[in-house]
Amino acid sequence: MGQTSWPVHRGCSRGGYVTLQVVQETESAGIAPLVSVIIPAYQVAQYIAATLDSVLAQTFKDYEIIVVNDGSPDTGELEKVLAPYRERITYLRQENQGTAAARNTGIRAARSKYIAVLDADDLWAPEHLAVQLAVLEADPSIDMVYADARIFGDVPEAGRTLMELSPSAGHVTFERLVTRQCTVHVCVCLCRRETLLRAGLFDPALRRVEDIDMWLRIARQGGRIAYQRRVLGCYRRRVGSLSTDQAAMFETYLVVLAKAARDPSLTAAEREVLERQCTVERASLELRKGKDALLAGDAEAAASHLKRANAQYKSLKLAAVLMLLRVAPGFLRALHRWRERHVYKLKTQS
């Protein structure tokens, strides 16, 4: 997709740097803003200016921006990048505790009714806040709303949207969140602050998929989640980011499902859905580990993982792969690498 062409606005620099400063038109009048934008920052110095510019370009203006430096090793460079924005943001620093803890720090510091969580390398369309806020203001029974976002970065799926890859179907329920029939896209969501506080905020023990854990808790407490299919942001995918380690994502999601299963108030139907999804996720994890082992040249480990995956999938294709692993593992590895390169080339040319 490339870089966005959304309008760019920058703050004014007056020299020096302050650790914590907020200058908002609403604050000067002693009025809390309606929306707080929470941006955790960890090794994002090269991206965060574009992210802030997309916030400052919003057509809706009654917001505050809270940037939480989560013990980033590039703090010096980050603070240089943030210097021109210092009159428009609250800047907080803490020891590294992970994205969930950084978001919680920002939410606790927020003064608003609504919370918009934004990663420091993602972007918003100018109408994002206005469109999402209209949904929540029109219906007080809705606790949060999310939209669609377009993927960008040097990845095969660049140019596609998140809902193309992870569609949402029907009403958002606990069961549909568990089975991924509905996937909340955190980069383009807007929540009521009281809902997040009531749910207990994000779980700092989770370094991945902590957002899914939050949405499950909101749904279990009877919270209402809505969505719209408008593309209201851009989601950056980077090689080496937490979300690109698929095996770790599956493993952490299994932890989240196990955590949800410990809720004594679950209905029999909800518990059954959790158990079924755990089976699905374990099979997906074994499949991912099998592919990783194959690419690493460990045919024995690959066969072991793929055999466990196929106990669930019962796939003729996987059975054929397992046979090739026994007789020609080198050929299979080369074939898999060729296929991945070919698919990537086709997607980047389309």
Instruction: Mark whether 330 and 280 lie in a shared domain.
Output: yes
The percent of residues in the chain predicted with pLDDT above 90, rounded, is 76
pLDDT at 327: 80
Q: 1 vs 217, which has greater pLDDT?
A: 217
User: If you average pLDDT over residues 257-274, what whole number do you get?
Assistant: 96
Is 127 inside any structural domain? Answer: yes
Instruction: Mark whether 297 and 342 lie in a shared domain.
Output: yes
Instruction: Mark whether 104 and 253 lie in a shared domain.
Output: no
Single residue among 197, 215, 239 that ends a domain in this structure: 239
Is 59 inside any structural domain? Answer: yes
Is 10 inside any structural domain? Answer: no
Number of domains in the chain: 2
Is 270 inside any structural domain? Answer: yes
Is 257 inside any structural domain? Answer: yes
Q: What residue numbers bound the domain in which 277 lies?
A: 247-349
Is 64 inside any structural domain? Answer: yes
pLDDT at 325: 86
Instruction: Reply yes or no on whether the pLDDT at 13 is more than 60.
Output: no
Residue 228, domain CATH: 3.90.550.10
The percent of residues in the chain predicted with pLDDT above 70, rounded, is 86
**Please, what is the average pLDDT of the chain?**
88
- Cα torsion angle, 216, 220, 223, 225, sign: positive
Instruction: Mark whether 220 and 108 lie in a shared domain.
Output: yes
The string of pLDDT tens digits covering residues 49-64 is 999 999 999 999 999 9
Pairing of strands 144-152, 189-192: antiparallel
Instruction: Mark whether 177 and 314 lie in a shared domain.
Output: no
Name the CA radius of gyration of the chain, rounded: 22
Instruction: Mark whether 127 and 235 lie in a shared domain.
Output: yes
pLDDT at 241: 55
Instruction: Reply yes or no on whether the pLDDT at 7 is more than 60.
Output: no
Is 8 inside any structural domain? Answer: no
Instruction: Mark whether 220 and 321 lie in a shared domain.
Output: no
Instruction: Mark whether 86 and 202 lie in a shared domain.
Output: yes
Instruction: Mark whether 235 and 99 lie in a shared domain.
Output: yes
Is 14 inside any structural domain? Answer: no
Instruction: Mark whether 209 and 234 lie in a shared domain.
Output: yes
Single residue among 239, 263, 291 that ends a domain in this structure: 239
Instruction: Mark whether 149 and 259 lie in a shared domain.
Output: no
Single residue among 239, 266, 281 that ends a domain in this structure: 239
pLDDT at 331: 78
Instruction: Reply yes or no on whether the pLDDT at 27 is more than 50.
Output: no
Instruction: Mark whether 138 and 180 lie in a shared domain.
Output: yes
The string of pLDDT tens digits covering residues 218-260 is 999 999 999 999 999 999 997 755 556 789 999 999 999 999 9
Instruction: Reply yes or no on whether the pLDDT at 346 is more than 60.
Output: no
pTM: 0.83
